[in-house]
Amino acid sequence: MRRILLVVLILFALVSWFWPHSGRQGESQSRAQGDYLVLALSWTPSWCEAEGTARGAARCDAGAGAGWLVHGLWPQHADGGWPDFCASPHPAPDRALLESMVDVMGASGLAAHQWRKHGTCSGWSPARYFEQTRAAFASLTFPEAIRSDEAPLRMAPEELLTEFRAVNPAIGADMVALTCRSGLAQEIRLCLTNSLEPRPCDAQIHARACRAAQVRLPPLP
């Protein structure tokens, strides 16, 4: 009997140890909603050069003119990491809502994926999530200096962010980061409060920032 009791106690201890470290989908709803938001802004020509053109994406077609678009609006934890694929009480967005986001996100399929992976963790309905995504994007200005119409641009990551912040003066240096891939400027990641005000990013956001001396911005398609 004592041996059985000992086994039960050991099993209970193991479960107690591993349960808090399980996948993010097991988090409480308050934890799932995150402490703040990250608005990820993709330079579309870089994505097209890396993979989008090979996929036959319409926003990579000649004359499409797609520049900075929203990759996603992501709930984020202040201590690093993020929730994803959360259980949501809201029904999935309908086709009309997803199609309405094409001008901001480039594709309804991307909008659908962003809702499943990140929007479900926001605590908002699909309509509210995409409304907030659009509002966050619309609040920003993109200077000509970080837009390439005819030939590739090359600049240091900090130069690109300085140009971006110059026309968005509420954004401090610790509130935004640039990612890159194979020498291409990839994404501006802007940290926002849940009411869409700029705020400092956590250390992990900055740790994943581009370390290249220069990045390239391919021209618009």
pLDDT digits (tens, 9 = 90+) for 153-211: 999 999 999 999 999 999 999 999 999 999 999 999 999 999 999 999 999 999 999 99
Query: What's the CA gap between 82 and 32, in Å, rounded?
Result: 8
Q: Cβ neighbours of residue 127 under 8 Å, at least 6 residues apart?
A: 93, 97
Q: What count of other Cβ atoms lies within 10 Å of the Cβ of residue 92?
A: 13
What pLDDT, on a 0 to 100 scale, did the predictor assign at position 151? Answer: 80
3-state secondary structure (DSSP) of residue 39: strand
Q: What is the pTM of this model?
A: 0.85
Ordered by start, the domain boundaries in the chain are 31-217
Query: What's the CA gap between 179 and 69, in Å, rounded?
Result: 15
pLDDT digits (tens, 9 = 90+) for 47-91: 999 999 999 999 999 999 999 999 999 999 999 899 999 999 999
pLDDT digits (tens, 9 = 90+) for 96-106: 999 999 999 99
Is the predicted pLDDT of residue 28 greater than 50, yes or no?
no
Report the CATH fold assignment for 31-217. Answer: Ribonuclease Rh; Chain A (3.90.730)
What pLDDT, on a 0 to 100 scale, did the predictor assign at position 32? Answer: 56
Report the pLDDT averaged over residues 115-124. 97
Report the pLDDT averaged over residues 115-126. 97
Q: Which residues on neighbouring strands pair with residue 77, listed in sequence order?
A: none
What sign does the CA torsion over 116, 87, 92, 70 have?
negative
